[in-house]
Structure 1
Amino acid sequence: MPLRLPRLLAGALFALLSLLVPRLVHAQLVITNKTTFVRLDNQGRETQSEHQRRGLQPFGINLQDCRDNQRLRLAITVSDVTPGDVIEAWATDQGADCSDSNQRISPVAKCYQIRSVNIPALANTTAEISVREAIAGLPGQQQLDADGCRRAQAKMSVSVQIMLFRGGTTGTAAGKDTLELPVKTQGPVPLAGVRVQPGNGNLGISFQNVGEAGVEDLTKVYAFCDREPKPAGGSGATEEIVCDDAGTVTDDSGDVVDAGDVDANCRTVTTPGSGAGSIPTPGPGFADNGVACKNAAFTAEDGSRITPDAKFQATYACGEAGGTTATSISAAPIDNNTIVAIAIAAEDSFGNVGELSDPLCQFGEETGDFWNRYRQAGGESGGGFCAIGPDGMPAASFAALGVAIVVGMSIVRRKKGSR
Structure 2
Amino acid sequence: MSSPVSSAVRLVRVILFAVLALVVPRIALAQTVTIPDNGYTRANGDGKTASDRNNIKPDVITYDDCANDRGYNIVVNTTAYDQTSELQLWAGTQDCTNVTVRSGSTQQCWRAFPGAVPRVASSTINVKVRDILSYAKTQPDYVKAGEDVCAKAAQANITLYYIFVKGGEAAGTGANKVFTVDTVGPPAPTNLTTGIGEKLLVVSWKPSSETTDTQSYNVYCDDGTLPATDASTPVDGSTTADAGVDSGIDAGDDGGDAQAFSASSSGVSTQANTSGTCSSAALIEGTVPPTSIKPCGTVSGPAATSATVTDRVNGVTYAVAVSAVDQYGNPGPLSTITCATPAPTDDFFDLYRRSGGSAGGCNEAGNGSVSALVVLGAIALAAFVRRRRA
* TM-score normalised to structure 1 length: 0.65
Residue 112 to residue 77, structure 1, CA distance change in 2 (3 Å): same
Residue matched to 2:88 = 88
2:315 to 332, 337, 356: 337
Residue matched to 2:262 = none
Checking the alignment, whether the CA contact within 8 Å between 1:78 and 1:124 is kept in structure 2 is yes
Say how many residue pairs are matched: 318
Per the TM alignment, residue 223 of structure 1 is displaced from its structure 2 partner at its CA by 0.7
Cα distance in 2 for residues equivalent to 1:35 and 1:356 = 38
Residue matched to 1:77 = 77
Residue matched to 2:44 = 40
SS at match of 1:99: coil
Cα distance in 2 for residues equivalent to 1:234 and 1:89 = 33
* TM-score normalised to structure 2 length: 0.69
SS at match of 1:162: strand
Percent identity over the alignment?
Answer: 17
Amino acid at match of 1:62: T
SS at match of 1:366: coil
Residue 53 to residue 373, structure 1, CA distance change in 2 (3 Å): farther
Cα distance in 2 for residues equivalent to 1:350 and 1:295 = 27
Matched, 1:162 2:162: yes
Checking the alignment, whether the CA contact within 8 Å between 1:103 and 1:109 is kept in structure 2 is yes
Per the TM alignment, residue 358 of structure 1 is displaced from its structure 2 partner at its CA by 1.3
2:123 to 122, 125, 145: 125
Cα distance in 2 for residues equivalent to 1:19 and 1:410 = 96
> 1:225-374, aligned counterparts within 5 Å?
225-228=221-224, 287-288=272-273, 291-299=276-284, 305-313=286-294, 317-367=295-345, 372-373=347-348
Residue 30 to residue 289, structure 1, CA distance change in 2 (3 Å): farther
Residue matched to 2:214 = 218
Checking the alignment, whether the CA contact within 8 Å between 1:92 and 1:159 is kept in structure 2 is yes
Per the TM alignment, residue 13 of structure 1 is displaced from its structure 2 partner at its CA by 5.1
Checking the alignment, whether the CA contact within 8 Å between 1:225 and 1:331 is kept in structure 2 is no
Residue matched to 2:238 = none
Per the TM alignment, residue 366 of structure 1 is displaced from its structure 2 partner at its CA by 3.4
Cα distance in 1 for residues equivalent to 2:273 and 2:306 = 16
SS at match of 1:128: strand
Cα distance in 1 for residues equivalent to 2:161 and 2:57 = 20
Cα distance in 2 for residues equivalent to 1:321 and 1:195 = 16
Cα distance in 1 for residues equivalent to 2:102 and 2:122 = 26
Per the TM alignment, residue 68 of structure 1 is displaced from its structure 2 partner at its CA by 1.9
Cα distance in 2 for residues equivalent to 1:233 and 1:119 = 38
Residue matched to 2:193 = 195
Per the TM alignment, residue 290 of structure 1 is displaced from its structure 2 partner at its CA by 7.2
Residue 298 to residue 411, structure 1, CA distance change in 2 (3 Å): farther
Residue matched to 1:240 = none
Per the TM alignment, residue 5 of structure 1 is displaced from its structure 2 partner at its CA by 7.3
Structure 1 alignment gaps of length 5 or more: 236-283, 378-404
SS at match of 1:89: strand
Cα distance in 2 for residues equivalent to 1:19 and 1:144 = 42
1:109 to 107, 110, 120: 107
Residue matched to 2:35 = 31
Residue 102 to residue 234, structure 1, CA distance change in 2 (3 Å): closer
Residue 162 to residue 373, structure 1, CA distance change in 2 (3 Å): farther
Residue matched to 1:407 = 354
Residue matched to 1:64 = 64
Checking the alignment, whether the CA contact within 8 Å between 1:117 and 1:129 is kept in structure 2 is no
Residue 45 to residue 80, structure 1, CA distance change in 2 (3 Å): same
Cα distance in 2 for residues equivalent to 1:294 and 1:203 = 17
Cα distance in 1 for residues equivalent to 2:172 and 2:190 = 54
CA RMSD, 1 decimal: 3.7
Amino acid at match of 1:226: D
Structure 2 alignment gaps of length 5 or more: 232-268, 369-390
Checking the alignment, whether the CA contact within 8 Å between 2:206 and 2:305 is kept in structure 1 is yes
Per the TM alignment, residue 70 of structure 1 is displaced from its structure 2 partner at its CA by 2.3
Amino acid at match of 1:360: T
Checking the alignment, whether the CA contact within 8 Å between 2:101 and 2:109 is kept in structure 1 is yes
Q: Deviations over 1:396-419 (max 9, x none)?
A: xxxxxxxxx5413565549x9xx9
Residue 413 to residue 79, structure 1, CA distance change in 2 (3 Å): farther
Cα distance in 1 for residues equivalent to 2:279 and 2:66 = 29
Per the TM alignment, residue 135 of structure 1 is displaced from its structure 2 partner at its CA by 0.6
Amino acid at match of 1:107: S
Residue matched to 1:239 = none
Residue 310 to residue 295, structure 1, CA distance change in 2 (3 Å): closer
Checking the alignment, whether the CA contact within 8 Å between 2:164 and 2:174 is kept in structure 1 is yes
Checking the alignment, whether the CA contact within 8 Å between 1:85 and 1:121 is kept in structure 2 is no
Cα distance in 2 for residues equivalent to 1:328 and 1:19 = 73
Residue matched to 2:382 = none
